[in-house]
Structure 1
Amino acid sequence: MQTNYLLPHKHKTLGWILFGLGIVSGIILQIFDFGNNDLFNYSPISNFNFEFLDEIISALIIIGGLLVGFTKEKIEDEFIYKLRNDSLVWAFILNYIILLLTIVFFYEGSFLTVMIYNMFTPLLFFIIRFNFLKLKSRSDEE
């Protein structure tokens, strides 16, 4: 099956590294809140500005997620193509359900926070669903 929009399989490892690093760093950044914390005011690196970290982490998640989600599998057949398409549709629908719930239930600052996380949910849902379906299909074959 010819899929012109997919990258070569060799980029998948780099994608997982970038994606994992971005997710873990993002969680750490949210836990310790480096941008709004006085933690670094008393350190030798107090002149160092941590405001750019969220942009770097966002870029890692997006680039890594795109590499993971849109690189070819070792065996790229019609079944994988169907799983990929089904996962994309599922992620898209789930993302808009969350967006609708956010519009209804969140206001002001909380709304903005949820919207920031919502930037990453389509990629995250797609990657989780696609890999879950691949794993499930492998276990069904055995």
Structure 2
Amino acid sequence: MKSRFLFPAKARFLGLLLFLGGLAFYIYSQNSTKEILVWHNLPKSLQSLTGSILDENFDDEVQLFMVLSGLILLAFSKERVEDEHIIQLRSDSLQWAVYVNYSVFAVLIFVAYGIGFLMFTMYNVLTLLVFFIIRFRWKIFLLNKGLTTEVKGAIS
């Protein structure tokens, strides 16, 4: 994976904020009957563009956008030191995440039906990024843990 296609390292913080904000917004909206983002709350100039969907709630769309954009920034932000080993770990983690994601999807094709299947396919958009981030961060953790252990052993 070429590092020229990655976001700057500072974008990871913005990604974390977007992800956690979207997740908090989702949890709040699931536990509340109040709709926050409704078309009729828009200014009159924007309401004329919306046509007949003036009472459409678009909380879900904003939540999904925040979570998705946050995960993309988290997954594809450069590390402080982006060397060949990190690039290889990133590539291996992405390949592993694709295999796991589509293996789970293949199994659930035969298990989930109706609305459950529709909901799963919506969440499946996010799970590839989640699997990638978990695997990549775990490998980075193990790499750092191994390096600090080797450094401590060399100093003793």
TM-score, length basis structure 1: 0.82
Query: Which amino acid is 2:72 matched to?
Result: L
**Where in structure 2 are the equivalents of 1:2-81 lying within 5 Å?**
3-29=3-29, 31-32=30-31, 39-40=33-34, 51-81=57-87
Q: Percent identity?
A: 34
Aligned to 2:47: none
Cα deviation 1:62-111 (Å, max 9, x = unaligned): 11111111111100001110110011011111110111111110111111
Aligned to 1:134: 140
Q: What is the RMSD of the two structures over their aligned residues, measured on CA atoms?
A: 2.3
Distance in 2 (CA, whole Å) between partners of 1:65 and 1:9 is 14
Query: Which amino acid is 1:23 matched to?
Result: L
Structure 2, unpaired ranges of 5+: 42-54, 149-156
Query: Which amino acid is 1:10 matched to?
Result: K
Bigger-Rg structure (1/2): 2
Q: How far did residue 56 of structure 1 move?
A: 0.5
Query: Which amino acid is 1:7 matched to?
Result: F
TM-score, length basis structure 2: 0.75
Cα deviation 1:7-49 (Å, max 9, x = unaligned): 11121111111112223333444x42x5xxxx339xxxxx766
